[in-house]
Amino acid sequence: MDVKVYMQQVGRQARAASREMAKSDTNAKNTALTAMAHAIQRDAAKLLEANAIDMAAAKTAGLDSAMLDRLSLTEKGIVSMAEGLLQIAALPDPVGEITDLNFRPSGIQVGRMRVPLGVVGIIYEARPNVTADAAGLCLKSGNAAILRGGSEAMHSNQAIAACVREGLKAAGLPENSVQVIETTDRAAVGELITMREFVDVIVPRGGKGLIERLINEARIPVIKHLHGVCHVYIDDKADQEKAIKIADNAKTSRYGTCNTMETLLVAEGVAQSVLPPLCKIYQDKGVELRGCEASRAIVPQMLAATEEDWTTEYLAPILSIRVVKDMDAAIDHINTYSSQHTESIVTEDYSRARRFLREVDSSSVMVNASTRFADGFEYGLGAEIGISTDKIHARGPVGLEGLTSQKYIVLGEGHVRG
């Protein structure tokens, strides 16, 4: 197979399908989503079988346990994949929404209409559930999708794709509005990220290597998520009980997620009282602590943190801790080392809360809440296609709205410009 020819064909089909999708009504899209969900539940056994083939190959290839974990489909996972599609069906249709329609002095009425982006290319790794989530989100937002999953999940993805196609067909929507790339050739990615005439945006869900490749090679806009080096800052005006609860939850409720705290900042005025009980909790849960000198003077069991720790996303039971003079020093640390994902301040001080919200330059900024809330479901967006740490187009969790754009509409009665 000539990969370029194949990808051009996929692109051309996606572009044609995207024009149909942009026009399709809410009812058809919801019918498709519901039919996909039913097909996935009905075919649960087939999906598990396909996944077993992928899992066996992955084990033979010696993939690590985190990778195997992401690759594996369970009965529960299949149910929640189907439920995710039904939830997307229940969300309001963003397409066609008209806002801010106002008369101008010239007499014309000017407003904005929400429209699909067109063709969305999604590049992801092992997780087969992304196939259903991404298909569902792109469909509801009126886009055509080209999905490029990890080669290790090929059988699982194709089985899910069959259910997706069945749903599209049931609703009379073009089957090419969701295409799963059928080759494992890495050159397919190179084509996907440079076919400007056929693809409007690329959404990568993968590690740093993929993101770096996109920054260098993509010729199409990318909605990207670099990584999550999230911070909690415990202010000297914090309620200490809330502080300990939040700092515990932000680190230990899950270690492998991008909204997990990786560095804890503590105001020097309360370090002495907050750090000992908090570190006890971490140590009891087996979290390795790496502190600055001032923190280690208070909790000597900590390892010494190096400069590298401040920029590291551990995705593991490891936490770096730094004592800072005050909120300004905390904001400086964050704006220097953070990946601009999510940061939280714990304080009862009104003016500091207000300043922290304004001055911290991250996609989610919180007061008295755990960073773990940074998530499309928790924010009420429904499913998310990723969390953007960019500033352009979409910032933070990206749901249906992030997969759309707004065009201007102008209504007149024969108006001309003077």
Near a second copy by CB under 8 A, which window of 149-157, 263-271, 307-315, 387-395?
387-395
- 116 close to 404: Cβ distance less than 8 angstroms: yes
Of the candidate residues 41, 80, 283, 405, the single one contacting a second copy (CB under 8 A): 405
In Å, how far from its chain's centre is CA 258? 9
Cβ proximity of 107 and 412 under 8 Å: yes
Q: Cα dist. 346→220, 247, 328 in Å?
A: 40, 9, 14
Within residues 203-232, the interface with a second copy by CB under 8 A covers 215-216, 219, 221, 223
The answer to whether 368 contacts a second copy (rule: CB under 8 A) is yes
CB atoms within 10 A of CB 19: 12
Based on CB atoms, which residue is closest to a second copy, 77 or 96? 96
**Subset of 141-170 contacting a second copy (CB under 8 A):** none
Q: Quick one: 116 or 128, whose CB is closer to a second copy?
A: 116
One character per residue 300-339, x = contact with a second copy (rule: CB under 8 A) = -----------------------------------x----
Q: How far is the CB of 248 from a second copy (least distance, A)?
A: 8
By CB under 8 A, the residues from 235 to 264 that bind a second copy are 239, 241-242, 245-246, 248-250, 253
- Using CB under 8 A, count the residues that bind a second copy: 72
Task: Please report how close the Cβ of residue 200 comes to a second copy at its closest, in angstroms.
Answer: 6
Q: Do the Cβ atoms of 356 and 335 come closer than 8 Å?
A: no
Measured CA to CA, the distance from residue 372 to residue 363 in angstroms comes to 13
The binding track of 41-80 with respect to a second copy, each residue x by CB under 8 A or -, is ----------------------------------------
Q: Does 374 bind a second copy (CB under 8 A)?
A: yes
The answer to whether residues 396 and 388 touch, using CB atoms and an 8 Å cutoff, is: yes
Query: Which of these ranges, 61-69, 160-168, 273-281, 356-364, lies near a second copy under the rule CB under 8 A?
Result: 356-364
For residue 99, state whether it binds a second copy (rule: CB under 8 A): no
Interaction of residue 129 with a second copy, rule CB under 8 A: no
DSSP 261-276: EEEEEEEHHHHHHHHH
Of 183 and 335, which has the nearer Cβ to a second copy?
335
Task: Classify 403 in phi/psi space as left (phi over 0), alpha (psi -120 to 50) or beta.
Answer: alpha
Q: How far is the CB of 96 from a second copy (least distance, A)?
A: 6
Quote the Cα angle for 260-265-267, to 5°. Answer: 150
Q: Regarding beta strands 201-205 and 288-291, do their DSSP bridges make them parallel or antiparallel, or are they unpaired?
A: unpaired
Choice from 113, 281, 315, 316 touching a second copy (CB under 8 A): 113
Question: Considering beta carbons, is residue 153 or 366 the nearer one to a second copy?
Answer: 366
Write out the two tokens for 62.
């010696």
Binding of residue 6 to a second copy (CB under 8 A): no
Which one of residues 5, 9, 19, 56 is an interface residue with a second copy (CB under 8 A)?
Answer: 19
Q: 159, exposed or middle or buried, with CB in 10 Å at 0-12, 13-18, 19+?
A: buried
Q: Residue 188 corresponds to which tokens in the numbers above?
A: 């397919």
Segment 170 to 199, residues that bind a second copy, using CB under 8 A: 196
Q: How far is the CB of 259 from a second copy (least distance, A)?
A: 9
Options 22, 57, 162, 329; binder of a second copy; rule CB under 8 A: 22
- Please tell me whether residue 104 binds a second copy under the rule CB under 8 A: yes
Q: What is the rounded distance in angstroms from the CA atom of residue 87 to the CA atom of residue 143?
A: 18
